[in-house]
Amino acid sequence: MGSKRSNAPGKPDKPKRSVKFRKAKVRHTVFTLGANRLTGGWLKRKHDAQQPVKRHVEISTPSWPKALDGLRIGHVSDFHFGDLMNLEKAMMAVEALASESPEIICNTGDLVDLEWMGVEPLARAFVELNPPLGNFFVLGNHDELEDGEAVARVATEAGIHVLRDDTMTVSRQGHDFRIGGVDWARTPKQCTDRIDRMLQSGRPDLLLCHNPKGFDHAAAVGIPMTLSGHTHGGQIARRNKPDANMAFAHKRSAGLYEIGDNRMFVTVGVGAWFPLRMNCPAEVVIITMRHGEPSASHD
């Protein structure tokens, strides 16, 4: 019988890379490392110096439960931990969250860019913020490139609730608050299938879905609020028009969207997949949800 070969005595075997991982690695080499070299390192130095802005949004809608009026959500997404997001830079966003003391922290995916090893301290930093209602996380497409199960395990072991097509109930001031989340899904149909699977454990008040293409079905089944990321707001947008950007594949790519009385907020994220943002600064979003007549305000 043959035996499994190791790379070297005492060292673990290297993980087998998927085709998607290898393609992403090529894109990374060209658009991140290559672009930075062409500018003599200027792009990355400029990128590293940019801190995320804090964005405050207040959303009122009659579909939001009255018992949850005033809930403050810390929404972050798309850290892309790796070459463009080391621990020091990521901690800027964690510190921004800490300064706002949200009741709940929701991370809508792409915690890592390519390789997952080394992200453990960032996961622990979220938990150390100790929000009263907990930390919640769903997997994004980049989380799954190398090993989605490993990313989910790291988050879970740190103390983050990883929602994988299911719903969890927590208590806020004596009232139930249901939060649901789905794994990465690329197409609207795949999003629909995952949301339907999640609904078997109960319809949530708040849904975490990395891909904003899930909003149509989320609204159709009556989920009051959906949080998404994924688009990065295109990273390049028109001045004062965040929705006019380079995320051409998405009709909902930045900010607040409405279908009836149901809402979705798409954050442009904390990190980047290439070292350039124009008129689209990285952000940490603090959302206050209200039960009442439809309205929205932000700074």
Residue 165, domain member (yes or no): yes
Interval 139-146 mean pLDDT: 97
Band the pLDDT of 17: cuts 50, 70, 90: confident
d(CA 156, CA 123): 9
Decide if 118 contacts 152 (C-beta within 8 A): no
Look at residue 8 and tell me whether its pLDDT is greater than 50: no
Domain hosting residue 194, numbered range: 19-298
**CATH value at residue 162:** 3.60.21.10
Look at residue 40 and tell me whether its pLDDT is greater than 90: no
Residue 11, domain member (yes or no): no
45-83 tens-digit pLDDT: 888 888 999 999 999 999 999 999 999 999 999 999 999
3-state DSSP assignment of residue 244: strand
Could you tell me what percentage of the chain is helix, strand and coil, using 3-state DSSP and rounding each to the nearest 5? Answer: 30, 30, 40
Q: Write down the mean pLDDT value for the chain.
A: 92
Residue 134, domain member (yes or no): yes
Residue 287, domain member (yes or no): yes
Residue 92, domain member (yes or no): yes
Look at residue 7 and tell me whether its pLDDT is greater than 50: no
pLDDT at 186: 97
Look at residue 14 and tell me whether its pLDDT is greater than 90: no
Query: For the ranges 105-109, 181-185, 238-242, 289-293, which has the lowest average pLDDT?
Result: 238-242
76-125 tens-digit pLDDT: 999 999 999 999 999 999 999 999 999 999 999 999 999 999 999 999 99
Question: pTM value?
Answer: 0.92
Domains contained in the chain, number: 1
d(CA 176, CA 19): 43
Strands 241-245 and 295-298: unpaired
pLDDT at 142: 97
Q: Which residues contact 44 (CB under 8 A, 6 or more apart)?
A: 36, 84, 275
Residue 222, domain member (yes or no): yes
- Tokens 């319809």, residue? 203
CA 98 to chain CA centroid, Å, is 17
- φ, ψ (nearest 5 deg) of residue 146: -90, -55
Helices (H), the chain: 19-27, 35-38, 42-49, 87-100, 120-128, 143-146, 148-158, 188-199, 215-220
Residue 205, domain member (yes or no): yes
Interval 14-32 mean pLDDT: 82
Interval 274-280 mean pLDDT: 91
Residue 9, domain member (yes or no): no
Band the pLDDT of 4: cuts 50, 70, 90: very low
pLDDT at 13: 53
pLDDT at 1: 39
Look at residue 178 and tell me whether its pLDDT is greater than 90: yes
Look at residue 9 and tell me whether its pLDDT is greater than 90: no
Of all residues in the chain, the percent with pLDDT exceeding 70 is 95
d(CA 56, CA 299): 6
Look at residue 181 and tell me whether its pLDDT is greater than 90: yes
